[in-house]
């Protein structure tokens, strides 16, 4: 789930690029573990900064146009380049496992229930 350029431009400018973990909620649905990449994704040679959320859950259908709410809990590693797609995929899998371990800690689990995730009602449809 990628955030729009407008959302990325409004992220705090002093947040370090890299891989983070936390909680994510689509619309008014359940809260799931997530891994977040902030940066330029050097492997793909992006010229614009992106914020990409990998929600650790399999959804039954697409959720384009839904509100994506996230809480960033911690930092896993800096952004880096990879020699191959396989190396990138391997690093992503390691990041996911680290996120799962961290988010199972009691101090992180309690944030899953925060009211932040249930304040909004409705949908925003993005026609970009």
Is residue 125 one of the residues assigned to a domain?
A: no
Transcribe 47-68 into DSSP letters.
SS-EEEEEESS--SS--TTS-E
Is residue 104 one of the residues assigned to a domain?
A: yes
pLDDT surpassing 90 at residue 9: no
Is residue 90 one of the residues assigned to a domain?
A: yes
Catalytic positions are: 52
The domain that holds 48 is classified in CATH as: 2.40.30.30
Question: What domain range is 73 assigned to?
Answer: 5-117
Q: How far apart are CA 38 and CA 36, in angstroms?
A: 6
Q: Is 88 helix (H, G, I), strand (E, B) or coil?
A: helix
Is residue 50 one of the residues assigned to a domain?
A: yes
More confident residue, 61 or 122: 61
> What is the pTM for the complete model shown?
0.84
Contact between residue 69 and residue 54 where contact means Cβ atoms under 8 Å apart: no
Tokens representing 104? 């199972």
Contact between residue 66 and residue 27 where contact means Cβ atoms under 8 Å apart: yes
Encode pLDDT of 61-120 as tens digits: 888 888 889 999 999 999 888 888 899 899 999 999 999 999 999 999 999 988 888 765
Q: How far apart are CA 93 and CA 54, in angstroms?
A: 11
Contact between residue 35 and residue 100 where contact means Cβ atoms under 8 Å apart: no
């Amino acid at each position: 789930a990628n955030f729009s350029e407008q959302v990325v431009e409004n992220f705090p400018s002093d947040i370090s690029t890299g891989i983070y973990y936390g909680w994510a909620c689509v619309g008014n649905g359940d809260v799931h573990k997530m891994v977040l990449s902030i940066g330029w994704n050097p492997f793909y040679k992006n010229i614009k900064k992106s914020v990409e959320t990998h929600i650790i859950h399999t959804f039954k259908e697409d959720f384009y146009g839904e509100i994506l709410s996230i809480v960033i809990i911690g930092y896993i590693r800096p952004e880096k380049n990879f020699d191959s797609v396989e190396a990138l995929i391997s690093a992503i899998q390691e990041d996911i496992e680290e996120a799962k371990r961290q988010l199972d800690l009691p101090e992180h689990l309690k944030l899953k229930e925060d009211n932040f995730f249930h304040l909004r009602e409705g949908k925003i449809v993005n026609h970009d």
